[in-house]
Amino acid sequence: MDAFLTSRVVTDILEGIVQGVVIGLVALGLVLVWRATRVLNFALGAIATLAAYLGMGLLSYHVGFWWCFVLCIPFGMVLGGATERIVVRPLYGKPELNPIVAMVGLLFLLEAVVGAIWSTTTRAIPVPFSFIHWTLGGRPFALSPLSVFQICAALVLALAIGALFRFTQLGLQLRATAHAPETSRLLGVRVSRMLTLGWMLSCSVGAVAAVIVAAGFATGLTPSEMEAPFAIGFIAAAVGGLDSPVGALVGGVAFGVIEQFVTDYLNANLVLPVALGILILALVLRPQGVFSRPVARRV
Amino acid sequence: MIRVSHLSVFHGAVQALHDVSFEVEAGTVTAVVGANGAGKTTLLRTTSGLVRPRSGSIEFDGQSLVGRRPEDIARLGIAHVPEGRGVIEEFTVQENLRLGALHGKGRFAEGLEDQFALFPALKERRRQHAGTLSGGERQMLAMARALIGYPTVLLLDEPSVGLAPQVTASVLSTVRRLCEERHLTVVLVEQDAMSALRVADRAVVLHVGRVAADDRADVVLADEGLRRYYLGMVS
């Protein structure tokens, strides 16, 4: 049993899941915004990084790690809500390219701002969990207390978001707004608030992902820490279906595992090409996404 | 109850409604009839705030509706079942109804029971996705979702579209009953003028955006000229 749990395949799968939860959260963040406002938030990684810097910056004021971690969520919410109200809102009803260009612009702007304020040096986060892997029968096991924390943080957040959508009146209105904005308004739903809320949720999910990345043993806070997870998360969301939150999460974790196998058995440089290959294949075979149902549009 | 005065609405450069005026009395069914493109749907969409008029006013219980947002108008107690019914297919029947009850009056459990009594077919299908319903069931769901919040006014856009004649008849007789038993005020837009006029108290005949007639429904129904020229009915 120990030999199996410490085998190369199981190790790759578990390490892949640790990377995958971050990719899944990024994909979930993209889906939340896409469903509500049909905008691809290319700045998600940068907004998330800024929220993580703001939250973790409190460490220097002797605020405990858990408080800093939890406070990243409202920071992400405020940044997401402000982005929707100030940058995105004036672009509704304009050609689809406009918000994309605006989001890419915001991405570069925020990365530069974060670098200017905090410098581009990597900062380690004092996570209260050991990065030393457990051993089984004298052999190293894939997980450490730190990686269990990373997986659990992502899982708790995903379940909380799922419960919000599934069981609350707010979630019902958020889903209704995503499916049928006009009908929702006729039923008294304040749709414009729901759109802002979608952005707030999305960016708070991103902020947690950014902290999970920064907490990693080999990483840390840098202005560009979310670039790689964002690229793969974007592909995962597209493959899983931009309309499916569950598809985004599952797709993200799957891509994390694939990434790990490619790195281990082939070459780390092939991660992005393989991901893009899967995307092309998925777009040819199932353009609506693996987890989305096809929607007929009236023209 | 509702007073529409000198309402003019444009879609871009095209004028959809020209100086339309009429009144709707509380607790009555007013049928708005006329051919395709007469401006019937535009009239309802302007009332519920989805379309802004160029000029004119719409008053509900003395308060002006023009310039208010659709979600605020809905919360005043004006329920609009839109063209195409607006059923959310990805939602179950019960989720659709819950959404309808959120910003209305009354408690959800009681409202649900009330609607299931009115439309028993929905009770059996409560856990089904609305996308699996037939046309008639969708119409019932759309009406139940509008009524579950106990509105004062029901705006109903073309309920007969895609329904068999006997289903249309049962839908319209339910409308009549609601009006009589619960003092609901109904504005019924219908292309099937004959069916609509039979359950209506008053009729407004629209012809390319203008009011061609505004009278008691039985008078319009009996008027050979109106029937022939505006309603396409041959006696």
**pLDDT tens digits for range A267-284:** 889 999 999 999 999 888
B74 and A175: CB-CB below 8 Å? Answer: no
Shortest distance, CA B64 to any CA of chain A (angstroms): 17
Enumerate residues 6+ apart whose C-beta is below 8 A from B134: none
Q: What pLDDT sits at residue A110?
A: 95
> CB-CB: which of B69, B86, B103 is closest to A183?
B86
A283 is written with which tokens?
């777009």
In the CATH scheme, what is the homologous superfamily, with its name and number, of domain B1-77+152-235?
P-loop containing nucleotide triphosphate hydrolases (3.40.50.300)
pLDDT for residue A298: 45
Q: In terms of Cα–Cα distance, which of A108, A68, A45, A54 is closest to A234?
A: A45
Q: Where in chain B is the domain with CATH 3.40.50.300?
A: 1-77+152-235
CB-CB under 8 Å, B82 with A188: no
Predicted model pTM = 0.90
| Total domain count, chain A | 1
The tens digit of pLDDT for each residue in A180-216 reads 999 999 999 999 999 999 999 999 999 999 999 998 8
Report residue A299's pLDDT band, with 50, 70 and 90 as the boundaries: very low
**Which of A165, A182, A187 is the best mutation test for B, with the most CBs of B within 10 A?**
A187
Predicted pLDDT at A293:
64
CB contact (8 A) between residue B71 and residue A185 = yes
Angle at A277 between CA A273 and CA A282, to 5 degrees: 150
Mutate: best of B44, B83, B90, partner A, most A CBs <10 A: B90
pLDDT value at residue B224: 86
- Per-residue pLDDT, averaged over A137-159, amounts to 90
Structural domain of residue A244, as residue ranges? Answer: 13-120+141-285
- The burial of B8, by beta-carbon neighbours within 10 Å (0-12 exposed, 13-18 middle, 19 or more buried), is given as middle
The pLDDT value given to residue A106? 96
Tens-digit pLDDT profile for residues A234-257: 999 998 888 888 889 999 999 999
pLDDT range class, residue B89, cuts 50, 70, 90 = very high
Residue of A nearest to B69 (CA): A185
- A296 falls in which pLDDT band (50, 70, 90)? low
Contacts of A184 in chain B (CB under 8 A): 99
Residue B201 near residue B186 (C-beta atoms within 8 A): no
**pLDDT bracket for residue B174 (50, 70, 90):** very high
Confidence of residue B176 (pLDDT cuts 50, 70, 90): very high
At B35 the pLDDT is 87
Q: Kindly report the CATH number assigned to the domain that includes residue A105.
A: 1.10.3470
Inter-chain contact A179–B80, Cβ cutoff 8 Å?
Answer: no
Could A183 and B88 be called an inter-chain contact, meaning their C-beta atoms sit closer than 8 Å? yes
H helix intervals, B3-159: 40-47, 70-75, 93-102, 108-118, 120-124, 135-147
